[in-house]
A and B are shown apart, each in its own frame.
Chain A
Amino acid sequence: MSERETMEYDVIVVGAGPAGLSFAIRLKQLTPDTTVCVIEKASTVGAQILSGAVIEPQPLDELLPGWRDNPPPICVPAGEDEFWLLSKTGGRKMMVPPGLKNHGNFIVSLGAMCAWLAPQAEALGVDVFPGFAAADTIYNADGSVAGVRIGDMGVARDGSHKPGYTEGIDIKAKVTVLAEGARGSLTKQLIKRFKLDSGSDPQGYSIGIKELWQLPAGRVTPGKIMHSFGWPADSHTYGGSFLYHLDNDQVALGYVSGLDYSDPNYQPWEAFQQWKNHPMMQPLLDGGTILSAGARAIVTGGYQSLPKVEMPGALLVGDTAGLLNVPKVKGTHQAIRSGMLAAEHLANNDLNAAGFDATLRGSAVMAELKKVRNIKPAFKKGLWIGMLNAAWETVTGGASPWTLKNKPDWSSLHKLGAQEEPKRDYLQRTLAPRDRLAGVYFAATEHDEDQPVHLQVADTSICIDRCTTEYGNPCTRFCPASVYEIVDDDAGKRLQINAANCVHCKTCDIKDPYQIITWVTPEGGSGPNYQNM
């Protein structure tokens, strides 16, 4: 066998999101001679970025002081904030919690913002490579991380090589920076290998499902920001919506469901569609058209779930580390800030990752997470206790002497019949899309069908023998893209994985109650092709 081709850089970054690109830009600003590359699995930078997104601009001011004169293409100054408690038929306007006051912030498309950051990184000499997936991590003889292996291209579903087969190369670097976003597939392996989570609680996640709509002229108030809680979620499910008014008659809207939900019959995608059809929302959207749609897991474990963010030869930044601020529903400023901190640490320490964990924990990034550490976990006790606790934690600035514990999301799923099913007071929907398959169309997701299935289920017999009776195959409901189906044909009942629909949200990897689903990178360039998400 021939030797695998290798490229060498001082630093390799996995993921061209806000954390990875900010890191690369900062490092080049500080040490222009350091060679840096950023690899990105999406076919183009930003195509697999999905976020609300309202961002706090301060870290961007530090990174790119002149950015306000040359803003990203979608960037609307935040206007009025509203916070609503919804019932099925109406709603009550509530006092806006401090975390959701957005004066001075900006509504952006994070995807468009990353596509705007990438050329700025390139102008500083960073090599940005979209369309290449980091399939694996490679190691030095001493066990330290040596870099990443790019996935092979042109492999058939059965593993054989197609005519265009191209072996993925190895990229070696003095330090590897993981900036994969929530539940990164390499980060997951590294956390296990280096036991990075031995001193922290399990990580927690939510799933955010989002659509971008073009509305008839005159309905949009650019800058208006609305968040809601309550219906359609029951009081034991952590769920809430966002609705951001952009310019050009567009709105970005979405619904976030905590993946610590317990009812195996819960369907996050349906909850989102229900909320859209609420009498306050439906008239706004009716007559409009969907421009883009998708979903992504959000990291919510915060302070107590933050794993060690360094290991020999590598470090974690942004959401793959788990830095999102839940009560603010914002992670971008934390991602940028952690990326900059990592760059500063490496520039000052001869590209040695050691010590970054302490640097991050001593920084404003961690102080922000500490303040809000008890807010999300208390919602496990129901909406009202959660709200009271949130008020207490906010008033005291997180000074409580206790820290509430996080549990893994998959463990909170009840078995069928183990609890009374919450009443889902749902309505008749009228707005598009009709079902998840119709929704996936707007994600423009594309995978060559003839490639190995990138959702690896360790033991599919469990699906039929145990899961069907114990949980009723919740994968067929939590997946927002209808990837999982139980089919019953001549060959008997079995799990069918429609991998080509996958929007790379990672929910299955997180929520599957047996923890037998592993999301791995498909062929580089595959997956959703979001526009301005």
Chain B
Amino acid sequence: MHMGNWQEHRRYTNFKELQMKIMVGYKRVVDYNVRIQVKPDGSGVVTDGVKLSANPFDDIALEEALRLREKGVADEVIVVAIGPADLTAHLRNGLAMGANRAIHVVTTDAVQPLTAARVFLKLVEKEQPGLVILGKQAIDDDANQTGQMLAALWDRPQATFAGKVEIADGKATVTREVDAGLEVIEAELPAVITTDLRLNEPRFIKLPDIMKAKAKPIDTIEFASLGVEAHDHLKTTHYAPPAKRSKGVMVKDAAELVAALKQKGLL
């Protein structure tokens, strides 16, 4: 139905943009439906036998990249994940959603934001994408740092917390969700965009696309081969579950409530 518009758009879009690649960070995290359990020894959270899935903000990033490709703004979408060998199935989901290919940087170590940003920088130097779209944060560590660090290392503009993205004339016009409301900024490409929740609603994966994804390429790169220093800049001392709420007290009437509050020195 929008075919006419697309074709028109393509005709007037310059050659460089048509060749544009979009690189998308696609991190695997503990699924948002899982009730997180802290290990009894406080060394981390339980991940064995727990459902893992794509970071929801990364799903939004991938959806946005796919929509830009469908609009004719880009011609290739690459999903990137850093982690252990069994990430392949996770990357296949990204390919089934519609990414053209995947890059898997293999490491068994936990990766902190600065290390992740350095890895992305290496991949950016190699792939030369016009746009890198990352989730604003991952729901496991809630760091909200990788996108900003990558932009700084790459020395390119960043547009974080994106609620709306438009690409034209070598520029990204991004509506950001900020405390005061909405802020519209322009960033020259190439740039880094990080996604907020309202940017879009990711599509459902279709069964035939899962089959097609099996034929799409996944490049495997050993972390060590990238020449990135794997340094833990932060040290986690321990994990603890939130304190349990103490049991409530039933009161008969308002007078008893007032008395109880007074007793606690709250009135």
In contact, B206 and A166 (Cβ under 8 angstroms): yes
Instruction: Name the B residues within 8 Å of A43 (CB-CB).
Output: 31, 33, 51, 53
Q: Which residue on chain A has the smallest CB distance to residue B63?
A: A164
Q: How far is the CA of A125 from the CA of B3 in the complex (A)?
A: 39
B interface residues with partner A (beta carbon < 8 Å): 31, 33-35, 37, 40, 48-51, 53, 201-208, 210-211
List 15 A-B residue pairs with CB atoms under 8 Å apart, sorted by A's residue number: A5-B206, A43-B33, A73-B48, A163-B201, A164-B202, A164-B203, A166-B206, A169-B206, A169-B207, A171-B207, A214-B37, A214-B40, A529-B33, A529-B51, A531-B35
Q: Which residue on chain B has the smallest CB distance to residue A249?
A: B40
Instruction: Name the B residues within 8 Å of A129 (CB-CB).
Output: 207, 210
Q: How far is the CA of A503 from the CA of B197 in the complex (A)?
A: 28
Q: How far is the CA of A109 from the CA of B49 in the complex (A)?
A: 10
Q: Which residue on chain A has the smallest CB distance to residue B93?
A: A131
Q: How far is the CA of A132 from the CA of B208 in the complex (A)?
A: 12
Interface secondary structure of B, over-half rule = loop
Within 8 Å of chain B (Cβ to Cβ): is A479? no
Q: How far is the CA of A297 from the CA of B33 in the complex (A)?
A: 23
Q: Of the candidates A73, A154, A441, A529, which one forms a contact with B204 in the assembled complex, judged by CB atoms under 8 Å apart?
A: A154
Q: How far is the CA of A441 from the CA of B50 in the complex (A)?
A: 16
Interface string of A88-112 (1 = CB under 8 A from B): 0000000000000000000001001
Instruction: Name the A residues within 8 Å of B211 (CB-CB).
Output: 7, 127
Please give the distance in Å from A309's CB to the nearest CB on chain B.
27
Total number of residue pairs linking A and B with CB closer than 8 Å: 61
Instruction: Name the B residues within 8 Å of A169 (CB-CB).
Output: 206-208
Within 8 Å of chain B (Cβ to Cβ): is A446? yes
Q: How far is the CA of A532 from the CA of B208 in the complex (A)?
A: 30
A442-B203 contact, Cβ under 8 Å, with A112-B49, A531-B50: no
Q: Which residue on chain B has the smallest CB distance to residue A47?
A: B51
In contact, B208 and A446 (Cβ under 8 angstroms): no
Within 8 Å of chain B (Cβ to Cβ): is A284? no
Q: How far is the CA of A206 from the CA of B204 in the complex (A)?
A: 36
Q: How far is the CA of A132 from the CA of B53 in the complex (A)?
A: 16
Q: Give the residues from 21 to 59 in chain A that come closer than 8 angstroms, CB to CB, to chain B.
A: 43-44, 47
Instruction: Name the B residues within 8 Å of A442 (CB-CB).
Output: 35
Within 8 Å of chain B (Cβ to Cβ): is A520? no
Q: Give the residues from 130 to 182 in chain A that come closer than 8 angstroms, CB to CB, to chain B.
A: 131-132, 150, 153-154, 163-164, 166, 169, 171
Q: How far is the CA of A153 from the CA of B31 in the complex (A)?
A: 20
Q: How far is the CA of A227 from the CA of B3 in the complex (A)?
A: 66
Q: How far is the CA of A24 from the CA of B167 in the complex (A)?
A: 48
Instruction: Name the B residues within 8 Å of A171 (CB-CB).
Output: 207
In contact, B51 and A291 (Cβ under 8 angstroms): no
Instruction: Name the B residues within 8 Å of A531 (CB-CB).
Output: 34-35, 49-51
In contact, A164 and B207 (Cβ under 8 angstroms): no
Within 8 Å of chain B (Cβ to Cβ): is A375? no
Q: Of the candidates A5, A112, A164, A214, which one forms a contact with B201 in the assembled complex, judged by CB atoms under 8 Å apart?
A: A164
Within 8 Å of chain B (Cβ to Cβ): is A502? no
Instruction: Name the B residues within 8 Å of A164 (CB-CB).
Output: 201-204
Instruction: Name the A residues within 8 Å of B40 (CB-CB).
Output: 214, 249
Q: How far is the CA of A150 from the CA of B210 in the complex (A)?
A: 14
Q: How far is the CA of A129 from the CA of B49 in the complex (A)?
A: 18
Instruction: Name the A residues within 8 Å of B202 (CB-CB).
Output: 164
In contact, A73 and B31 (Cβ under 8 angstroms): no
Q: How far is the CA of A100 from the CA of B48 in the complex (A)?
A: 31
Q: Which residue on chain A has the smallest CB distance to residue B205?
A: A131
Instruction: Name the B residues within 8 Å of A47 (CB-CB).
Output: 51
In contact, A166 and B204 (Cβ under 8 angstroms): yes
In contact, B35 and A73 (Cβ under 8 angstroms): no
Q: Give the residues from 365 to 403 in chain A that come closer than 8 angstroms, CB to CB, to chain B.
A: none
In contact, B49 and A166 (Cβ under 8 angstroms): no
Instruction: Name the B residues within 8 Å of A291 (CB-CB).
Output: 35, 37
Within 8 Å of chain B (Cβ to Cβ): is A354? no
Within 8 Å of chain B (Cβ to Cβ): is A271? no
